């Protein structure tokens, strides 16, 4: 599933081609996504200028003077820019025409993505209860410490809860906890403020590095392959169960937390 760094990479790749451009026509080839595409979405967005393109969590927000189109990539979705006359591919479900030479296409084999419309995105049910952005000014160790008091849930599950902080998916939660030296199964309510300060910094570092490395693939968004090269960054623990820890050389262990596999070092993480 595309995670926050991949969505941010997508945003940065398509933003220069969308902002200030008018969507002349919206073609819906398949409306049966995770939530059905509203029948009136083309009428709402056609002839509107995309004034700003922003991201909230893993949602892309196409902001116009009329309202906001919300796009989510789901588990397998991707966006690519290409010529409108290029033949559509299997699983191309939506096409937004921008100029006679340029369109934005949405491809989603599993159809878990979404294209929705709202007049007030801050109050939309999918967005209004999201936690702070991990790279924004409202996210800190103090925020995590306060929200975690009395919580017995594992800290890895706690930081993956989008009500606490958005966009910390399984890969980046595992990596941030390793960087912070915190065992993923430790109860969230039993971690000190000082350690949460370190964890918040680790989350910012891991996500920031992933976004920076994702920036090397931005050109892919204006090529026809549309492949952004997800997860090219170096991973310290995720997917490395049974291998040597890159810090202490002990064998990395694996377990399941909240139905998800997690990998950690019993020596480096306490």
Flag whether 151 is marked binding.
Answer: yes
Residue 33 CA to residue 115 CA, distance in Å, equals: 8
Flag whether 27 is marked binding.
Answer: no
DSSP run (H or E) holding 94: strand 92-99
Catalytic residue among 186, 236, 260, 267: 260
Nearest to 110 by CA among 68, 58, 80, 72: 72
Q: How many CB atoms lie within 10 A of CB 169?
A: 19
Cα 186 to Cα 6, 131, 140, 180, 259, distances in angstroms: 28, 21, 19, 13, 16
Structure tokens at 219: 């050109």
Residue 266 CA to residue 252 CA, distance in Å, equals: 7
Q: How many CB atoms lie within 10 A of CB 101?
A: 9
Is 232 a residue of the active site? no
**Full DSSP string of 228-263:** --TT-S--SSTT-TTSBPTTT-PBPEEEEETTEEEE
Catalytic residue among 56, 58, 80, 156: 58
Which phi and psi (to 5°) does residue 81 adopt?
A: -105, 130
Is 42 a residue of the active site? no
DSSP run (H or E) holding 103: strand 102-107
Annotated binding site: 91, 110, 151
Annotated binding site for DNA: 91, 110, 151
Q: Active-site residues: which are they?
A: 2-3, 58, 260
């Amino acid at each position: 599933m595309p995670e926050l760094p991949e969505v941010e990479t997508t945003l940065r790749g398509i933003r220069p081609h969308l902002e200030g451009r008018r969507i002349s026509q919206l073609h819906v080839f398949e409306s049966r996504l995770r939530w059905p595409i509203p029948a009136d979405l083309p009428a709402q967005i056609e002839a509107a200028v995309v004034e700003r393109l922003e991201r909230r969590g893993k949602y892309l927000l196409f902001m116009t003077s009329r309202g906001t189109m919300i796009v989510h990539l789901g588990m397998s979705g991707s966006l690519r820019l290409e010529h409108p006359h290029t033949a559509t591919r299997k699983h191309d479900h939506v096409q937004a025409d921008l100029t006679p030479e340029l369109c934005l296409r949405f491809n989603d084999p599993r159809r878990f993505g979404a294209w929705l419309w709202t007049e007030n995105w801050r109050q939309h049910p999918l967005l209004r209860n999201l936690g702070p952005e991990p790279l924004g000014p409202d996210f800190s160790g103090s925020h995590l410490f306060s929200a975690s008091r009395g919580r017995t849930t594992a800290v890895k599950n706690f930081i993956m809860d989008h009500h606490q902080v958005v966009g910390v998916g399984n890969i980046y939660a595992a990596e941030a906890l390793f960087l912070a030296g915190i065992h993923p199964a430790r109860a969230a309510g039993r971690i000190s403020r000082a350690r949460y300060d370190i964890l918040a910094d680790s989350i910012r570092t891991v996500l920031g590095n992933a976004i920076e490395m994702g920036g090397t693939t931005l050109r892919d968004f204006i090529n026809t392959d549309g492949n952004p090269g997800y997860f090219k960054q170096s991973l310290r623990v995720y997917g490395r169960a049974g291998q040597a820890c890159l810090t202490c050389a002990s064998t990395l262990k694996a377990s399941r937390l909240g139905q998800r596999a997690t990998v950690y070092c019993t020596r480096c993480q306490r």
